[in-house]
Structure 1
Amino acid sequence: MKKTVFLFAISSFAISVIAHSFFLIEWANDRYMTGNGDGLAQMIVFKSFLYDQYKNGSFFYSYSFGLGGGIYSQLGYYFTTSFVYIASFAAVFLMQIMHLAGDADTLFWAQAAVFISVVKLGLIILIASYAFHYMVKHKLAAFTGAVLYGTSVIYFRHTVFWEFFSDAMLWLPLLVAGAEKIIREKRTGLFITACSLTLFSNFYFAYINLIFIAIYVIFRWLIRLDEQEETRWKQFRLFAVSCLISFGISAVSFVPAVYGFLNNLRPPYDQAVALYDFTDNILFSSRIILLPSVFLLFLFVFSFYKNKTFRLFAGISVLLVILHYSPLAASVFNGFSAPQNRFEYLLAFTIGGAIAIGIKELKNISRKEILYSSLLVLFIYIAAIWHKDLDLSLVKNWSILVLLFLTIAAFAAAGIKYKKAHLLLHGCLLASAVLVANTYQKYVLSEASDIKSVTKSYLTSNEYNGEEQRELLENMKKDDGGDQYTRIDWMNGVRNNTPLIQHFNGFSAYSSILNQHLLLFYWKDLQIDMERESVSRYATMGDRANLYSLLYGKYYMTEKENAPDVPYGFEKTDESEHYAVYKNKYTLPFIRTAKTVFTEKDLAEAPVLAKEHAMLEGIVLENHQEKEQPPQISNLIGQTKIKTKGARYQNGVLEVTAEKGGIDLIPESGLPNEGDYYVEFYLKSLAKDQFFNLQINDYVTSRKSNQSIYKTGIYDLTIRVPKAEKISIRLPKGKYKLDNLNLYQEDYQTLKKAAAKNAPKADMSWEQNKLSISYENKSGDRYMVLPIPYEKGWELMVNGKKQDVEKANYSFIGFSIEKGDNDIQLVYYPPYFKATLAITIISLAAGIWYSRRRKKLGS
């Protein structure tokens, strides 16, 4: 047994290295195995960020993640509890201790990506070999099937673009083997382990894997493989108890992550989802799944169906092929949201199983079946070529045809029982698997998807993380006297996670899961334009000085070329060849106290400028018995002329007839002495599918198409415009709903008054997830507000008494304080952390007891 395991392990990792040949050669030339989209914007960024967090003992919260947030709940979708990442962290940490690795920055993780993938793929092949061998009882067949599963194109697609996606391929074979252990032996230990691992590691792919296991078990109940199998009812009870224990074991990770997902804000997908879409060619050119020709050859050997295990895997495979062509199924696997083809690794697994069984059954095949199957498969490939009109000059398509004929030849030789022909077939299948994998890496990933642009020179350039930018950021930190809470508005292009890359506190974040209170703050409450509409991002403060001051924004950095109008009250303090730095003259203190209380309800219909003034004058709470009247702001739209330019505007509909046109707003009151305008309006394109840019004077922001799955569904906009004689709203040719125009003037007297107040004298320290404040309330203020986002998980003690944290200023932490001395302790834990930790410990003990009990009963 030890020799067999050793041989499987060596073979698995050898195949993994060969399957990565292309990217290993690319690594030697300083080109890396990570996507130039989310790979550079999220994957290597979050890995670098979490490494620093974990290394410093900060496991739960980070002030630097966007405007601040819990990393368990908001990054649980990515790497927070991923066992692959945790193992990577441990390995890198040990390497640093032994001085074998330098800083674990984004460049490091990009360089390490191919080696992590080699190890992960080796483990996937090894685990799948175990699962297939348990069912097939043929070592080489099990290994070959596992290789075809592990090296499937979807593994490389997922690993390159969204690295954690492919982690699910580790746990799937364990789940199937665990399910078989329950069905055949009534033993639950492996299933509980596998189910706990997948639930703990990633809730999203646990959802997909458990859907598959449910389908698998249903098929198994229809296709009994062993007469000694327990009754379905008893199996159901074993599965139910095992799943319950598994959910309990994973609770400490699973519950906070799911809470973060539910606390996210994403508009419902309101577009029609088609039942079927047959555009993808899974024989030649699919980017998601390519069917091995041997699978089709085996599928048409009808004597194979006498083998129940082949019938099982072939039946599930055919079902999953059908589902691959259904956007509705893709939506179901994506949580009933927008269709996403992320589940096809399930198909790769069942195909691997079918091939493993088919290889074992070759001894029973007839020559007639070889001929019929080969002709049918050739006909299918010819039909695919004719139907899709493929360009066979492409090397990748020619290679698939060559592999097809080689596979048919090896299949025929093995079936006719030539000496050692079985080894020829195995060799052909293994060689074709690694060849397809490397061909896919080169032509589909590196060239067609431009992964070749992810180079060392790019990752150290000003386009991503340049030295010139880092020097200016260091200068800001020195100028600020080392204030660790200062926020800087700087984003490199459209990379919202720039603050994580360059290690500063910023105003932007890009993650699939974000704090819904912050998203509402941007989208609805304050209508802050981010210069780019997106459901999974937030950025900047819309160049609105009041908001920068309220959220401790001291610095603003921008490119000199095409530099925008900086926010009011920011003065240039530093510059380099390509960038300029501005400092806020009116920054408010990090800790603010207030007597005056406004409520969200009373401000609901007020313009956003009135809401800003309310936050500057006091504090805004959701509900409060004593409340002030909202600040009054004059609407200038009644004293403003509206003129069209290259457009027609009537009854709230703007039809732009020129290539670029719109309306001009000309205030009759004349140019203000200082300050800005705030222009509010409703804007929606009436085109079915049109991405467009909105320009207001020099300010440009982009809006998604109505067909985009990433549109916010928010059409009420507020744009800050520096003082000017006219406000020009420009749009590309088309028809738009443009309504509810309002215009306000901001002279910043309220901001200046707030900044002139004496800052509260308070001592503050923040270590990991604990914030301590010592404050003497001499002025008798009733509330304290902090620029820390409100979210579930914060616990508050004031002078030793437990107290509720309130949502203040729409999205931040507020709480009542007492007269005189206030000893304030704020501690953050992931939502339901203490309760779920207790459940995990109890369930782990229960799982060990239950598994041992079932093992004794089974034996």
Structure 2
Amino acid sequence: MNSLLGQPQKSKHWLTFWVALATAAAFFLPFVIYNRGLFVYIGDFNCQQIPFYKLAHEAVRSGDIFWNWYTDLGANFIGSYSFYLLFSPFFWLTLLFPTAAVPYLMAPLLVLKTACAALTSYFYIQRFVRDKNYAVIGALLYAFSGFTAYNIFFNHFHEVIVFFPLMLIGLEELLVNDRKGAFAVTVAINAMVNYWFFVGEVVFVILYYFVRCTGLKGGFKKILWVAFEGLLGVLISAFALLPSALAVMGNPRTTFPENLLSGWQFWLYTHEQRQPGIVASFFFPPDTPSRPNMFPDHGAKWASLSAWLPLFSMSGVLAYLISVRKNWLRKLLIACFVVAMVPGLNSLFVGLNHSYYTRWFYMLILLMALATAATLENERIDFARGFRWTAVITAAIAIPIGFTPVIKDGEIEQIGLAKDMRIFWVYVALAVIALALCYLLMFFARRTARFQRIALVMLCCFTFGYTTLYLAMSKQTLERDNYIIDNGVHGRANLTMPVDPDDEFYRTDIYDSGENFGMYWHLPNIQAFHSVVPVSIMEFYPEVGVKRDVSSRPQPEYFALRSLFSVRYLFIDRSKEEQDPMPGYHLVDQQLDFNIYENENYLPMGFAFDAYLTREEFDEIPTDLRHKVLMRALVLDEERAATYGPMLEHLEIGDTNLPEAYTDFLDDVDARRSMACSDFTRDNLGFTATCNFDQPRLVFFSVPYEAGWSATVNGEEAQVEKVDIGFMAVRVPAGACEIRFDYMTPGLLPGLAVSGGAILVLLAYWLFFRSRSAKRRGRPADPPRTYELFDPDQLFPAEDEPADGFSLDHPLSDDGEEPEPEELYPPAGELPDPSEVRWEAEDFTGAPGPVIPPEDGEDETGKDQPKK
């Protein structure tokens, strides 16, 4: 097929990259200008993605990579940020810039990620099409799908969209070309980039392997090689995987069997809107993650429920499913659709967790983009039937939602089932416009030589329009944007604390505003919106009546926790009516949009107790009083109570000695202050404190207990004790003492050792098969493999007459008649004449690969020569 995009057989990967880069830059640019050089969005993007990047950037550049004091009450830095960004190459690019520049890099990084996603998916899709221009279109569909637009909200999800196609490429190389090592490397890359998504990718690759091998000769015999290289890839990534796995073990969101789906919930969705919502996600643009509109009660907020392909929607996919039979891609698509509709099967991609997520849809979308590209290329596939079914299903969803009346109290409240009918009709309009443009594309351009160029331009223009509109409808108000920019992004440069936290350690509290502003300001803060924190924090908060799921937000009534955690300053937005939420605070300053209050009951880090009570006794205390009791006595388990009981007074719990009155709390604060450490300093490896007591004491530190901590007292090893359910204490003798705590990320050193050994195994494995390939160089080369998705005989018979406006005639047919099948696609086993094939330089295994013959006017090196 003639093409104005270039010769069909030449690679179009750079074209794909630059087109995707330009399109993504085009729809981000207006918002960057709107926000004065920044891209500020909504929800998690503003309060997690930007501050996490800033925090991690500064930590890595300063070498503070073990224990992070600015995440909740303190956290394992590697374990907490490996899920979000730590092993992403895009994050490491930011290290070339100063920390102040990081917020300005968020939009450019998203643009770059989108272009890279198009690039990697192109290399996968181009394996299965003859004309590489269709691989360009398929790659852009993958890179600009509704899933990608939806997950701008979760910036770090884009990494997995970028790198996942590489794993399928590695698998294809192993299965089809017998190329050793590539699959192991791509498995390692994906495992390092995001361990949580990697679980779902393993499930998908297993499914892909068994379906794919039905179309490959001897495919099942390679299962041992696939398993070996998969395991090797996991071992190579152990330095990232092991610390990450240890950090989330015991987290209430990952424990078994409490989080497993069971009973009927394994087979049936309990939300009546869930299944139609899943179907609609393939035919309509995505909802805003935090504001589901079309199916507002489907219980899938933040689930990444979107699989829409811009411009073509499901037309190409349905056409492929209708027209092609006995084909691995068709079987795999059907299997994925079934998995999406069955709760238990869908949960396989999130480790059988009961929380509903479709964050594996990017894998399905890659297959859908491939099917669409193959459908566009092969005009014997009846695109018209796929288009008609897409239009019918789109209408079947839109009409009931759009026109069903909602009656409340005997009166019609509204016409339509969506939460906001105006937004609903905008989304319907986008879906209809996409179908209309698709129809015009196929009607007017399919028979022309410029079809591919027109399709590419229309796809990019529509992508720009729908994504720009989606972002504009999702964004918050300019007033809220400016609040985030002025107080958050620029807050640190404009905030001067009464006491420098680098001179004297303390924590801060932000009342009911400014999510994760402490991270923006580089101040230790007890309010934290972060899902991956030490398990001990997760254990502690519920025991004192504070909910802890994805964030730590101790309510003002738990004011004693502020003293326990060494909170010195409280920030309250000046617009808040409530300016006195807790007792014991006085106004000391006004900065940014906040009033700053100082805690009169502040305690420095590190103080001792003279009393204890057991965990069982603590559980008997009313929940609303437990935070006060923690200021009076240490909570010890039975073993530690037996060990340290003789040096502490046993606090008998009764009606007469519970600290109910505020004056009781003040007395306990004074007692703790009299037994506080005289000095506390932090560094990149831990902290040091000094104290001087007249008798042996247990010194408490409000630092979450973790296995990575070790301690010495006056240079001698000391036992780190777990007290108060989730914190640390150490025994010190009488007299002047220097207490030293050091932290090493659990699993990091063993993981590095395993990774190093696995890399050596990979090198030996690669060198062995390279040497074997070298010995075969004198033998006749193996014929190039075919990547045909299907044989012409696998097509179902097309309808007698194509739909009005559609033609199945081949554009190169001089007489308008359809050529014979062999003219379009030779049988899968038919190979080109070896004399007409030029071979590439050896790949890393020594196995050659096919390259197209030189064009007229080129020599064997591709250089121009004078034409005869």
Q: TM-score scaled to structure 2, two decimals?
A: 0.74
2:129 alignment counterpart: 136
Kindly provide the amino acid, as one letter, of the partner of residue 275 in structure 2.
D
C-alpha contact 1:265 1:514 (8 A) present in aligned 2: no
1:342 alignment counterpart: 359
In 1, Cα distance between equivalents of 2:316 and 2:384? 10
1:320 alignment counterpart: 336
| Structure 1 position 6, deviation (Å) | 8.2
Aligned ranges 1:248-647 → 2 under 5 Å: 248-266=235-253, 268=258, 272=265, 274-275=268-269, 277-279=275-277, 280-281=279-280, 282-287=282-287, 288-291=306-309, 293=312, 296-297=315-316, 299-300=318-319, 305=324, 311-335=327-351, 336-362=353-379, 364=380, 369=382, 375-389=388-402, 394=425, 397-398=428-429, 400-408=431-439, 410-411=441-442, 418-420=447-449, 423-424=450-451, 426-447=452-473, 449-451=474-476, 453=478, 457-461=482-486, 464=488, 474-477=496-499, 483-491=503-511, 493-524=512-543, 526-528=544-546, 535-540=549-554, 542-559=556-573, 561-575=576-590, 579-594=594-609, 596-607=611-622, 615-617=630-632, 619-622=634-637, 623-624=639-640, 625=642, 626-627=644-645, 628-634=649-655
Aligned ranges 1:671-710 → 2 under 5 Å: none
Residue ranges of structure 2 left out of the alignment (5+ in a row): 1-5, 288-305, 404-420, 774-846, 848-868
C-alpha contact 1:614 1:631 (8 A) present in aligned 2: no
Q: Residues 238, 301 of structure 1: CA spacing in aligned structure 2 closer, same or farther, 3 A cutoff? A: closer
2:785 alignment counterpart: none
| Structure 1 position 50, deviation (Å) | 0.8
| Structure 1 position 837, deviation (Å) | 1.4
Q: Residues 759, 10 of structure 1: CA spacing in aligned structure 2 closer, same or farther, 3 A cutoff? A: same
In 2, Cα distance between equivalents of 1:254 and 1:216? 23
3-state SS in 2 of match to 1:477: coil
Please list the CA deviations of residues 176-195 of structure 1 after superposition, one character each: whole Å capped at 9, or x if unmatched. 11111111123232211111
Q: Residues 331, 40 of structure 1: CA spacing in aligned structure 2 closer, same or farther, 3 A cutoff? A: same
Q: Residues 807, 631 of structure 1: CA spacing in aligned structure 2 closer, same or farther, 3 A cutoff? A: same
1:72 alignment counterpart: 78
Q: Residues 373, 243 of structure 1: CA spacing in aligned structure 2 closer, same or farther, 3 A cutoff? A: closer
Residue ranges of structure 1 left out of the alignment (5+ in a row): 97-101, 637-675, 679-743
1:731 alignment counterpart: none
Aligned residues: 710
Kindly provide the amino acid, as one letter, of the partner of residue 509 in structure 2.
D
In 2, Cα distance between equivalents of 1:635 and 1:496? 40
Kindly provide the amino acid, as one letter, of the partner of residue 174 in structure 2.
I
1:850 alignment counterpart: 765
Q: Bigger shift: 379-388 or 48-57?
A: 379-388
- 1 or 2, which has the higher strand percentage? 1
| Structure 1 position 460, deviation (Å) | 3.2
2:684 alignment counterpart: 768
Instruction: Tell whether 2:116 aligns with 1:201.
Output: no
C-alpha contact 1:304 1:358 (8 A) present in aligned 2: no
Please list the CA deviations of residues 610-636 of structure 1 after superposition, one character each: whole Å capped at 9, or x if unmatched. 755664455333332153432445279
Correspondence for 1:243 among 230, 249, 257: 230
1:734 alignment counterpart: none
Q: Residues 404, 541 of structure 1: CA spacing in aligned structure 2 closer, same or farther, 3 A cutoff? A: closer
In 2, Cα distance between equivalents of 1:145 and 1:348? 10
Instruction: Tell whether 2:22 aligns with 1:17.
Output: yes
| Structure 1 position 213, deviation (Å) | 1.0
C-alpha contact 1:73 1:256 (8 A) present in aligned 2: yes
C-alpha contact 2:66 2:77 (8 A) present in aligned 1: yes
In 2, Cα distance between equivalents of 1:403 and 1:284? 10
Kindly provide the amino acid, as one letter, of the partner of residue 87 in structure 2.
T
In 2, Cα distance between equivalents of 1:841 and 1:610? 52
Q: Aligned residues: percent identity?
A: 18
C-alpha contact 2:203 2:348 (8 A) present in aligned 1: no
C-alpha contact 2:139 2:369 (8 A) present in aligned 1: yes
1:171 alignment counterpart: 163
Please list the CA deviations of residues 374-401 of structure 1 after superposition, one character each: whole Å capped at 9, or x if unmatched. 5555544554554554889956544543
| Structure 1 position 407, deviation (Å) | 3.2
Q: Residues 849, 327 of structure 1: CA spacing in aligned structure 2 closer, same or farther, 3 A cutoff? A: same
Instruction: Tell whether 2:658 aligns with 1:754.
Output: no
Q: TM-score scaled to structure 1, two decimals?
A: 0.75
Q: Residues 796, 371 of structure 1: CA spacing in aligned structure 2 closer, same or farther, 3 A cutoff? A: closer
3-state SS in 1 of match to 2:118: helix
In 2, Cα distance between equivalents of 1:374 and 1:567? 62
| Structure 1 position 209, deviation (Å) | 1.6
1:810 alignment counterpart: 725
In 1, Cα distance between equivalents of 2:650 and 2:559? 23
Please list the CA deviations of residues 580-629 of structure 1 after superposition, one character each: whole Å capped at 9, or x if unmatched. 43333333332223454443234331345875566445533333215343
C-alpha contact 1:370 1:412 (8 A) present in aligned 2: no
Q: Bigger shift: 427-436 or 256-265?
A: 427-436
In 2, Cα distance between equivalents of 1:343 and 1:581? 44
| Structure 1 position 772, deviation (Å) | 3.3
Q: Residues 784, 384 of structure 1: CA spacing in aligned structure 2 closer, same or farther, 3 A cutoff? A: closer
Please list the CA deviations of residues 505-543 of structure 1 after superposition, one character each: whole Å capped at 9, or x if unmatched. 22111112222322332211x224xxxx56211134635
Q: Bigger shift: 607-616 or 324-333?
A: 607-616
When the two chains are superposed, the root-mean-square deviation of aligned CA atoms in Å is: 3.6
| Structure 1 position 461, deviation (Å) | 4.0
Instruction: Tell whether 2:780 aligns with 1:780.
Output: no
In 1, Cα distance between equivalents of 2:105 and 2:479? 13
C-alpha contact 2:180 2:769 (8 A) present in aligned 1: yes
| Structure 1 position 766, deviation (Å) | 2.2
C-alpha contact 1:16 1:121 (8 A) present in aligned 2: yes
In 2, Cα distance between equivalents of 1:454 and 1:329? 44
1:183 alignment counterpart: 175
Please list the CA deviations of residues 155-199 of structure 1 after superposition, one character each: whole Å capped at 9, or x if unmatched. 1211x2000112111121111111111111232322111111111
In 2, Cα distance between equivalents of 1:597 and 1:37? 42
C-alpha contact 2:677 2:690 (8 A) present in aligned 1: no
Instruction: Tell whether 2:75 aligns with 1:63.
Output: no
C-alpha contact 1:182 1:239 (8 A) present in aligned 2: yes
In 2, Cα distance between equivalents of 1:51 and 1:376? 49
C-alpha contact 2:318 2:389 (8 A) present in aligned 1: no
Please list the CA deviations of residues 668-727 of structure 1 after superposition, one character each: whole Å capped at 9, or x if unmatched. xxxxxxxx995xxxxxxxxxxxxxxxxxxxxxxxxxxxxxxxxxxxxxxxxxxxxxxxxx
In 2, Cα distance between equivalents of 1:63 and 1:435? 46
1:146 alignment counterpart: 139
1:29 alignment counterpart: 34
Kindly provide the amino acid, as one letter, of the partner of residue 283 in structure 1.
F
1:698 alignment counterpart: none
| Structure 1 position 90, deviation (Å) | 3.0
1:650 alignment counterpart: none
C-alpha contact 1:148 1:430 (8 A) present in aligned 2: no
